[in-house]
Structure 1
């Protein structure tokens, strides 16, 4: 049997080496055949399909309307520019703190999300001419009497997005930055006294106040500096001159002013107040069906595929972990240690944003499956290994005496018994995987949780929408727990007691 174990382990090693060589080969070819750097592109080379990264949760610049469509000042502006240039604009909804990572990894061609032209961004990216100017405002809780201007925020907790220029304004004024990704969430934290101040764009803040009628926060002052908003592309992209020409043309023919009036004029403020008059129940009810579709189309398939692939990885790693060949066992231990010792969120970012820099690029759904499968494999491997170890040694010996080889013994004798032992902990892994899929929204997967975020951003109805999302997750897990119970009863049917 020892000989068979070594033979199988050797085959596993050869298979792993073959897979690694296969991955390295295409990657090497991809790197060798990669196109010329972006700076080599001619000035007129505007992509026929311009992939534009935007948040989709930052009204009035980028958000989802009641019907689910992406809209906003920045969204409509780049759509009009694309129409004038004769190119198709394809939006890629991206969290703001990841938007420049998406740009650098080549997943988007342009950022349209009220980007300010800081010196750091000017050095690293191609920036367009300004298309709108605004100023910052200092926002505090309604009962706060200590902060009256930007000079008073020194030592105070400021709720800011880390990659926003307003975070730098608050930090320069001496505030302690509390990382909060979205402005609307920062306002909620401010109303709950979790932070003491928020510094943000005046137009966005006034839109928030007009829409919500929130009396728990107030604007106390504006900042001294004005800031412009620009588009950003990779350095040397070559197509900013054309975009700048269209911005100038829209300014001259009045189209830019018309767009401004649509989103920031008095009529826009009236529409915002009317939109904010919908009841919480109406908002939740209108979004139940889109959230259900996201569950059926994305969350459930993502869970099922990742779990099946993860189990296959886990079985391989568990067998490698039991190998008597030191290097094979060590590789399995290293894999398990890395997967269990790093956060799933970091693994998602590495697969989605890091691997493209090595020539390996996956779609959002594919990247999510890869990261989740590897994660499940790391955790489930120890479950399967312990379940195999729990099968009495006599079972192995009895199978060997009747002439079964290692693989036949494993397949027909050991694994069926180990499955009964492994089902409860693997069931817990599956339930955890369902909930972990919510993290994939940060790598552009349009899952259930992202739908809830999209709906909550312009309506600020967090409690109702997030509770509805939680209910969907709970129903899925409830069904899985019921199926797990039935499977356990079936596997225990022939157990001698």
Structure 2
């Protein structure tokens, strides 16, 4: 059989065998384009165009919060429910304003993008009012007054004020107001996700200090009982004001919140909530000495692990494993289509496939997740958190697995195509019955490695507000401060899943081995 003049070693024969498949894929792609437009383009049903008055008077308001910032926003280890000072305040506001609340937990750095893209309607997470934020967002009336403190290692006697931070390294959350305070003082910034990570880095001597809210620091010291860090001094004399945050387009919600906060201040509800958590009224300036009650005390490390084992398992079963299965299945479908396109002699198929593979392999998965989740809404495509994570992970798997499948197909000897033609098979039959089964045997080991990597890559889904296994561990670690034990437990869960997959890989290799010559 003569090869195509532009390809050697039987590639032309394979290309001719692939043409029916490629034409079918092109046809399906062309048919899918008109169906892929944003959902907002579809006309609304008549019954949806005029919402009932009752629904309009009791809107559902989506609240973004960390859930890892005690005593303001955290998951109660006894009940497993989201609680904290900010959570009780926003619930009291909702009761006055007639809102129905839903909560979305995410890392602090992901909250503002979630607000920007309309995935949440307000943020309740001790967010400080500053000029930069006021230029982009609407703030409610302040409901907390606090000041910043500098935290250092217990044996560090060189840092007492902001001036002493010049040239030192401070661990800070990327979008925290205190990060800018540390920068203005001349500190070098090491970005972290929260106070618990910053405290761990200080205790280990990896950074020099952190600047944070005095109330949050006092809660951490009370909960952890740590003697390795201390409050070294105040971060200036300025009093910071915290408030609920809204988009610029949500003036009505902000006004409702302001009215509710005024009523709650007048009837003493805000003061009562504050006394519960701090022993003082931090909802007014000059509240006096704050006595923070620890958000988590009395539990041993073993008890923390016992309490967290089931929520972590639930996170694995509910999100990690489904994310893995769905992303891998669709990723393989994408990979097969792209691999076939790469083997085509048609440049209209080959060139886009090359570009796709280059982009996927040349950009970090984290960036791809951000583009799909936070970028696509800017062009009218807003996917739920889980679907966005599935899409990003599927595209990532497709880019890497495509080259594995292509290499496996190319490794099938040219004589197999010729033999299939000799016995009367058409190109599609030879590909389906002869080539792909042999290529599958070769592709199983490297594709299994891709699957194992995917299991671990799902831990990045927390940045797009998916509460998967590792996010549950982070939430528990923020409250209990048992970082080492909880992260080791998370690692054990991942290892068990990967070990089961490895066993399945061995069984699958034996099964497809029957196609070996």
TM range (shorter): over 0.9
CA distance in 1, matches of 2:431, 2:338: 15
Say which of 366, 375, 378 aligns to 1:354.
375
Shift of the 202–28 alpha-carbon distance from structure 1 to 2, 3 Å rule, reads closer
Deviation at 1:189, TM superposition (A): 0.6
Deviation at 1:479, TM superposition (A): 0.7
Aligned residues: 483
Deviation at 1:27, TM superposition (A): 6.1
Identify the residue that residue 424 of structure 1 maps to in structure 2.
445
- How large is the Cα RMSD of the aligned pairs? 2.0
CA distance in 1, matches of 2:292, 2:110: 33
Q: Does 1:188 align with 2:209?
A: no
Structure 1 residue runs of 5 or longer lacking an equivalent are 34-43
Q: Does 1:262 align with 2:276?
A: yes
CA distance in 2, matches of 1:287, 1:161: 25
TM-score, scaled to structure 1: 0.93
CA contact (8 A) 2:128 2:242 kept: yes
CA distance in 1, matches of 2:263, 2:62: 22
Say which of 48, 57, 82 aligns to 2:59.
48
Mean Cα displacement is larger for which, 289-298 or 263-272?
263-272
TM-score, scaled to structure 2: 0.90
Secondary structure, aligned partner of 1:272: coil
CA contact (8 A) 1:6 1:325 kept: no
Q: Does 1:230 align with 2:243?
A: yes
Describe the superposition over 1:239-275 as per-residue Cα deviations: whole angstroms up to 9, x where unpaired: 21111111111111111111111111289958528x3
CA contact (8 A) 2:437 2:515 kept: no
Q: Does 1:410 align with 2:431?
A: yes
Matches for 1:3-402 after TM superposition, within 5 Å:
5-23=18-36, 25-26=37-38, 29=41, 48-66=59-77, 67-222=79-234, 223-237=236-250, 238-265=252-279, 271-272=293-294, 275-402=296-423
CA distance in 2, matches of 1:135, 1:3: 72
Identify the residue that residue 39 of structure 1 maps to in structure 2.
none
Structure 2 residue runs of 5 or longer lacking an equivalent are 1-12, 45-54, 281-288
CA contact (8 A) 1:207 1:269 kept: no
Secondary structure, aligned partner of 1:145: coil
Deviation at 1:493, TM superposition (A): 3.9
Secondary structure, aligned partner of 2:123: strand
CA contact (8 A) 2:308 2:476 kept: yes
Describe the superposition over 1:86-117 as per-residue Cα deviations: whole angstroms up to 9, x where unpaired: 21111111211011100010000001111111
